[in-house]
Amino acid sequence: MSSSSSLPAPAVRISLIAGRYLVFDPEGVAALRRDSNTCGTLVGTMPQQPTQNIFLGLPIELRPEEAQALVQRGRAHVVDDAAAHQVAMHNHSRKAYIETLRKTKQTAHKVVTERNAQRSAEHADKIAQGQRKAKNVESVPLDNVSLDGASPKTPSDAQLFAVTPTTTKELLNAKTDVVCGSPNVPEAPLARHLQYNGYYMTPGLRFGARYSVYPGDPLRFHAHYMANQYAWEEEIPILDVVEGGRLATAVKKAFLIGGEEACQPGPSSDEGNVRTYSIEWAGM
């Protein structure tokens, strides 16, 4: 397959937090999926239901080899998130962030006030219509009627209105980012090779392999391969071949093994000198 995009994609910010590679920005997540064949795994949960594990959201977590491949291709950069926040909190970014929160609070208060006023007016109109039907001539002041019967908002209520920030995006910028080097993880030439050639990968543990390999976006395609990586001179146990081939064939996939040729080191490139072999168990 050809590369998914011929145009260079902007570098995505990957946050390194406690040894995990996370992407919080929705636009960055979309760019990785669209331009770099990288889905990641949703790990975010709701504070009110921390035990739920069905409808997870942002951020996404990348495997170390995925982050390494993205950095080597120039598609992303890894940032020490804790250090970046420390830098940002000791310069002018902190004041700018507080001002942003203040503006967000004012905007949210304005929206809520307008919505409450509209609902109060609608409720008052219904009351007035009912009174006219009852031929009651008493007028009802619109300014003093609210949906729940309480008194209207006062200026002091606005001071109690608060917004809980869900992101520190406005606090951080390119100047405060403490960029790390390429992730220090074992080489993953197979993952880099498959990513470069337009394939998508997800963890393949449930199918007994390292990667589930898709010819396109996993939302549109089933996996075609179950893949394992081996060193070029590594001896592959025959049981690994039998188990992988039978299991992959049982779930209507091919078993893919691959490694980088150690005897012919080539120039540093996206694809590398990787050889792959597909195994199908024909006796099932």
Report, as residue numbers or ranges, the catalytic residues. 214, 222, 253
DSSP class of residue 211 equals E
Q: Please, are residues 221 and 202 in contact by the beta-carbon 8 Å criterion?
A: no
Strand runs labelled E in 18-157: 20-23, 41-44, 57-62, 76-80
DSSP H or E stretch at residue 17: strand 12-17
Token pair for 73: 């291709």
* C-beta contacts of 132-140 below 8 A and 24+ residues apart: none
Q: Please, are residues 244 and 208 in contact by the beta-carbon 8 Å criterion?
A: yes
CA angle in degrees (0–180, nearest 5) for 192-196-201? 65
How far is residue 137 CA from its own chain's centroid? 60
